[in-house]
């Protein structure tokens, strides 16, 4: 029970006392029984605002919607399609009531009567939750007003949702935008009795928005820097991009089937679906857009969709060739997977025994190209020179000078050729070179530099699986 102290020191009636007397007044003032629940809900909404207790404001709006629906049915407001018309107009009126509250919140009037400071009964976090719930109530009831005002209520709800995504940062609502826009457009076409095939515009709309959202999900940096979105952490942001990409793919594929199914082109719809899924799967193997869901949906989805396309082909020869294409698609995904597994073969560090030394941390190894300075350092390692007699000193000096001149020329050549990537090689004293995959030598060097190994010598080798390992041997 909520009791608010008045200015004269008296305590007003508790909430059930106020509502009870209000109900008696309403029964005495009206002769229409059907509107009594709706009038009562309106009064309770007003009373919740004036007392500052808005925790139940959304529940009261839901009650208002059903009360209006009951009242319209009892009073026989509509002669045709009573349930649909009552539901739509009740939703529209309830949405307008919630919209008024959102406008009041924007002007600082919604919580005007709520106590502040030490007497605060509704916390700031609770107020934010109430406001967000009121906004959601507004969108939902506007969208549900299908047959009211020729479907303009549904269009209004879609527009308000799109506006608040941009200005209030409702990132999760972006996932449902294509579906809501399609529903609003379809309802508008039906209500205005436009003589067109509804599947074509709806499908085209879904396809365009789905592809746009899919492209948007690939722009990591641009999405992260948008001012109207705030991210709690990088993990939340990356999860959002995955969900956004899935929603875009689902919308685009749904639009394709709406659009082509209307003209009975199911074979072409499955073929176009296969192309889109292959593109999505290839993106999943790209380093900048790597995502497991893209590889799974793109790989398996393209195989299934092309199999269905092949089964719809009527010509026997073309059907056989199509099933061969299914095998080629599966083979292509297999090659991409094998290449990815080969690229992901990292460098593993073998830790020394517990008795010999403490464990050294294992830094993450990243592939990168060698810099010119590091290549020059690796190639300019001097070999030990033994001095057997004084007579050989002059020859040694001359050889060193010649080597320096040759090395200068080699450095210039390296600078010129650094533009073109080439495999990393290691010179040996036995007359041959060891060639490593691109970036592996740099990864080895970084791993050794980033690992504390005082008193230990790094030894690079290969394990039984052909993976590069770094062992630490005591000096």
DSSP 217-274: HH-HHHHHT-TT---S-HHHHHHHHHHHHHHHHHHHHHHHHHHHHTTT-HHHHHHHHH
CB 306 within 8 A of CB 329: yes
pLDDT at 3 over 70: no
pLDDT at position 2: 43
pLDDT at position 275: 92
pLDDT bracket for residue 166 (50, 70, 90): confident
pLDDT at 4 over 50: no
Q: 17, exposed or middle or buried, with CB in 10 Å at 0-12, 13-18, 19+?
A: exposed
pLDDT digits (tens, 9 = 90+) for 245-290: 899 999 999 999 988 887 778 888 899 999 999 998 888 887 777 7
CA-closest candidate to residue 292, choices 324, 330, 340, 355:
340
Residue 98 has which token pair? 């919630």
| Contact residues for 253 (Cβ-Cβ < 8 A; gap 6+) | 210, 273, 276
pLDDT at position 303: 93
Q: What percent of the chain has pLDDT over 90?
A: 11
CA-closest candidate to residue 446, choices 376, 367, 359, 378:
367
Among the ranges given (103-117, 178-192, 323-337), the one the predictor scored with the smallest mean pLDDT: 103-117
Residue 320 has which token pair? 């056989």
Q: Which residue has the higher pLDDT, 5 or 474?
A: 474
pLDDT digits (tens, 9 = 90+) for 77-92: 888 888 888 899 999 9
| Of 115-124, 189-198, 363-372, highest mean pLDDT | 189-198
pLDDT at position 423: 55
Q: What percent of the chain has pLDDT over 70?
A: 74
pLDDT at position 21: 65
Residue 102 has which token pair? 């959102």
Q: pTM score, two decimals?
A: 0.60
pLDDT at 372 over 60: no
Cα angle: 333, vertex 338, 342; to 5 degrees? 145
pLDDT at 10 over 80: no
pLDDT at 329 over 50: yes
pLDDT digits (tens, 9 = 90+) for 428-445: 777 788 877 767 777 788
Overall average pLDDT of the 122-139 stretch: 84
Residue 365 DSSP label: P
3-class DSSP state of 154: helix
Residue 227 has which token pair? 């001012």
Among the ranges given (134-143, 176-185, 377-386, 454-463), the one the predictor scored with the smallest mean pLDDT: 377-386
Chain Cα centroid distance, residue 354: 44
Q: Which residue has the higher pLDDT, 424 or 291?
A: 291
pLDDT at position 92: 92
CB 44 within 8 A of CB 26: no
Give bridge partners of residue 470 from the DSSP assignment.
349, 460
Q: Which residue has the higher pLDDT, 76 or 327?
A: 327
Residue 100 has which token pair? 């008024």
Q: Which residue has the higher pLDDT, 206 or 30?
A: 206
Q: Which residue has the higher pLDDT, 387 or 424?
A: 424
pLDDT bracket for residue 117 (50, 70, 90): low
pLDDT at position 96: 92
Among the ranges given (87-101, 227-241, 355-369), the one the predictor scored with the smallest mean pLDDT: 355-369
- CA pair distance 458, 349, nearest whole angstrom: 9
- CA pair distance 285, 148, nearest whole angstrom: 49
Domain locations along the chain: 15-262, 265-344, 347-369+424-475, 371-420
pLDDT digits (tens, 9 = 90+) for 46-79: 888 888 778 888 899 999 999 999 888 888 888 8
pLDDT at position 219: 83
Quote the mean pLDDT of the chain.
Answer: 76
Overall average pLDDT of the 297-302 stretch: 90
pLDDT digits (tens, 9 = 90+) for 13-28: 455 556 666 666 666 6
| Contact residues for 291 (Cβ-Cβ < 8 A; gap 6+) | 242, 245, 283, 284
pLDDT at position 365: 41
């Amino acid at each position: 029970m909520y009791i608010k102290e008045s200015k004269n020191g008296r305590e007003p009636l508790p909430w059930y006392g106020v509502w009870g007397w209000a109900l008696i007044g309403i029964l005495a003032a009206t002769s229409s029984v059907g509107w009594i629940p709706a009038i009562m809900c309106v009064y309770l909404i007003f009373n919740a605002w004036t007392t500052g207790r808005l925790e139940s404001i959304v529940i009261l709006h839901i009650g208002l919607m059903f009360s209006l629906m009951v009242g319209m049915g009892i009073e026989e407001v509509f002669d045709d399609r009573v349930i649909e018309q009552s539901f739509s107009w009740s939703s529209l009126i309830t949405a307008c009531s919630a919209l008024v509250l959102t406008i009041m919140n924007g002007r600082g009037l919604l919580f005007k009567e709520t106590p502040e400071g030490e007497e605060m009964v509704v916390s700031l976090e609770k107020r934010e939750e109430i406001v967000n719930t009121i906004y959601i109530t507004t969108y939902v009831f506007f969208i549900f007003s299908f047959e009211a005002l020729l479907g303009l209520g549904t269009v209004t709800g879609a527009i308000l949702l799109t506006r608040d995504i941009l200005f209030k940062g409702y990132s999760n609502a972006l996932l449902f935008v294509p579906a809501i826009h399609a529903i609003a457009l379809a309802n508008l076409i039906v209500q205005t009795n436009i003589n067109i095939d509804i599947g074509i515009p709806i499908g085209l709309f879904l396809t365009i928005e789905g592809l746009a959202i899919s492209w948007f999900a690939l722009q990591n940096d641009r999405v992260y820097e948008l001012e109207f979105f705030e991210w709690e952490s990088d993990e939340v942001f990356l999860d959002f991009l995955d969900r956004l990409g899935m929603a875009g793919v689902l919308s685009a594929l749904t639009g394709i089937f709406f659009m082509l199914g209307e003209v009975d082109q199911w074979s072409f719809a499955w073929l176009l679906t296969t192309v889109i899924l292959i593109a999505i799967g290839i993106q999943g193997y790209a380093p900048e857009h790597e995502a497991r869901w893209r590889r799974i949906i793109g790989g398996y989805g393209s195989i299934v969709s092309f199999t269905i396309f092949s089964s719809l082909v009527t010509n026997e020869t073309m059907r056989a060739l199509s099933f061969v294409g299914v095998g080629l698609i599966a083979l292509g995904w297999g090659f991409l997977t094998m290449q990815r597994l080969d690229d992901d073969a990292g460098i593993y560090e073998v830790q020394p025994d517990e008795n010999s030394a403490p464990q050294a941390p294992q830094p993450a190894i990243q592939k990168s190209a060698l810099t010119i300075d590091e290549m020059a350092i690796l190639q300019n390692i001097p070999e030990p020179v033994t001095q057997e007699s004084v007579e050989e000193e002059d020859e040694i000096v001359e050889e060193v000078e010649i080597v320096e001149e040759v090395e200068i020329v080699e450095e210039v050549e390296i600078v010129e050729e650094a533009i073109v990537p080439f495999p990393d090689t290691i010179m040996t004293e036995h007359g041959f070179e060891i060639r490593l995959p691109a970036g592996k030598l740099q990864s080895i060097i970084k791993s050794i530099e980033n690992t504390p190994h005082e008193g230990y010598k790094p030894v690079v080798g290969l394990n039984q699986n052909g993976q590069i390992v770094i062992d630490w041997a005591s000096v």
